[in-house]
Every structure is written in structure tokens, then in C-alpha cells.
Amino acid sequence: MLLCLSCIASLVMSQNEFRVGALAASPGTIVSGRLEVRPAKGIDDGTFLPITIVHGSAPGPVLGLVAGVHGSEYVPILALQRLRSDLDPKKLSGTIVMVHVANIPAFLGRTVYVSPGDGKNLNRVFPGNPEGTLSERIAHTLTEQVILRSNYFMDLHAGDGNEGLSPAYTAYYAEAGTPRVIAESRRMAEAFGLDTIVAFKGKLEPQRAIWCGSTAVVRGVPAIDVESGQLGRAEPIYIKLIVTGILSVLRELDMLEGEPSPTKHPLVIQDRAYVKTQTEGIWHPNPQLDAGTYVVKDTVLGVVTDFFGNPIVEVRAPQSGLLLILIETPPVQQDETLAVIANVRPGPWEAN
């Protein structure tokens, strides 16, 4: 069978298309649309993921970017909108798959931590289940359609609607995955450019990798988490940190021309203390403290009162360190985290 030249050209183009679900992007184009999460008959109507494929004119790696796993963390969601408008696919080598809002039920429902659909935390149900609840089916779709299609991956967060969080930081799994995945994940974390880097400890079996980023690394995909922004606010400075960081990683991976701007003075955090309370009630954080300040051991972080205002428990810092996260809104349930303190005392530092 003879094919005309234009037919051959279109066949070559179709081979170079990048498809995610029903969306297909030709080289040098940007395509946006819905990636469907199918309904569960008689239980829910399913949902969708708003995604963008930026398919570069030249070949290169695939970078997956996910925002909005927690629906009230707005900074990463707005950062991906900015990035979408800033990128020129004709200057890109490789492909970027953006998930603008991973958790539409939580975003539109304005919930913190969990989905209003099934009460589950999407970032605790990976890799998901195609026959599971709505959050589990979202996680399955993300794993199959985005994470496993990526050569590199970023899960973008902020302090949730109730969480003060400072400074912005990147995080990577320092002991999970192959040595190559660990080294490449660290390379991404450093290239992102934020000075504070959390190095998660511990190996992870695939069945225990219930977090979005961990699902990537145990499946051979280098990944980082990013935390930038806080308290349900859309502060431009935090949005800019994410856009700048992603562009720097794209340069580090030779997906964009130009020099990356990695951190020159990384503060690597290996241990964090989670401060919890056994009491439900109303949380009064110490008004003299903000996330990002250094606290010494026994500093009063706040007081939990009953619903009438009577003090129940005074919560103190169990160790000195950097106050990475401080809950700053009143509701508190039993066994919830009220603060996260990073151990930044000297040594044992890594040799390199």
C-alpha cells in the first residue's frame, strides 16, 4: 500500500502525540481538559481531574505535577495556572502533565484534610483502588494516568486551611526507593531552590506507600513534595516560589534552556516532632508564635479549652527546634497534630 507524504507526516505526528485519558497533545502544543474518574453505581457520580498536557517540540522526560490533593491548599493550584500561561511548548524538551486540582470534591466542598465525598484523606489512600471509594478511585487514576507515565514527579502542597506553615520547603524520601531514585529525588529538591529540605527517613514497602509522592518513588519515579503557602490564603510570594522552583527544576533536567538556581545553603531536616493532643475542644495558639520561628523546649505552644473557655491542657514544645507547622484555627479533635517542630540542632550532618 502506498501512502502519500501528508499521510506519512500525519502518522509520524500521531506517534508523537502524548495522550492522557481522552486528551491528546501534538508536539509543540498545550491541551487542557478533563480526566474522568468513573462513577460508582448507586454510590456517587464520580468526578474529574482538570489537567493540562504541555507537549514540547523536542523529545525529553515527562514531568508530572499535581496540585490540590488537599482541596483547601490554594497556592499550588494558582501556581500551576501561572505556569500554564508562562510556558511555551515550542521551547520545551519533553512533556509536562499538570493536574490542576487533584481533589475537586474537597476543593469545591472547601474541606480541610478530607474529602466531603467519603471522609477520606486523599494523601493516605495511594496507590488507590479502581473499585474503592471516590478518594481511592481518584488516587488510582492519578497513579495509573499520571505518576506511572512520569519520569519525574512533584506533589505540590501548602499548609492546609487551618495550618500556619513556614518557611516553604521541599521534601524527598531519603531512604525509600532505589539509590538512583533517591539521588534523582534529592537532585530535584536541591534544584527547586528552597533552602529548607526535609529528608524523610525510613524504607517503604509498596503497600505502605500511601502518600502520593511515596507511591511514585517505590515505583521507580524520582519525586519531591513541595510545601509553600498557608492558612487557605493565596499569597503571591508563595505562588512565585513554586513557579520559580518548577522552572529551575525544568532547567536542571534540560527540559528548558538556561541555568537552574539551586539552593546554595540547604538546611536539611531529618527529624520532626509531631505535637498532638488527646483532648478535643477549642485550640488557642500562643499569639506570640508564628510558624517559622525557633522555639525552645517547654515553650507554651497554646492551650486547649473546653467549649466554654475553661482550660483543659497547656501544650508545650517537647523539644527545641524550628516551628514548621502551627495549627492556627480553633477546632481540635482528639489525637490531631497541633504543631510540627523540626530538629535543627547541629549534626550528624551528611559529609556531602
Residues within the interface to Zn ion (CB under 5 A):
70, 73, 157
Least Cβ distance, residue 330 to Zn ion (angstroms): 20
Of 225 and 252, CB closest to Zn ion: 225
By beta-carbon proximity to Zn ion, the closer residue of 165 and 341 is 165
Q: Cβ 70 to Zn ion, closest distance in Å? A: 4
Considering the complex, what minimum distance in angstroms separates the CB of residue 345 from Zn ion? 27
CB of 47 to Zn ion, least distance (A): 18
Shortest distance (Å) from residue 157 CB to Zn ion: 3
Nearer of residues 162 and 185 to Zn ion, judged by Cβ:
162
Work out how close the CB of 99 gets to Zn ion at its nearest, in angstroms, rounded to a whole number: 14
Judged on CB neighbours under 10 Å (0-12, 13-18, 19+), 181 is buried
Nearer to Zn ion, 160 or 184 (CB): 160
Pairing state between β 196-200 and 267-269 = parallel
Q: Is the CB of 54 or the CB of 147 nearer to Zn ion?
A: 147
Nearer to Zn ion, 67 or 317 (CB): 67
Shortest Å distance, C-beta 71 to Zn ion: 9
Please choose, from the candidates 31, 109, 21, the residue with its C-alpha nearest in 3D space to the C-alpha of residue 68.
109
Tell me whether residue 58 or residue 210 sits nearer to Zn ion (CB atom): 210
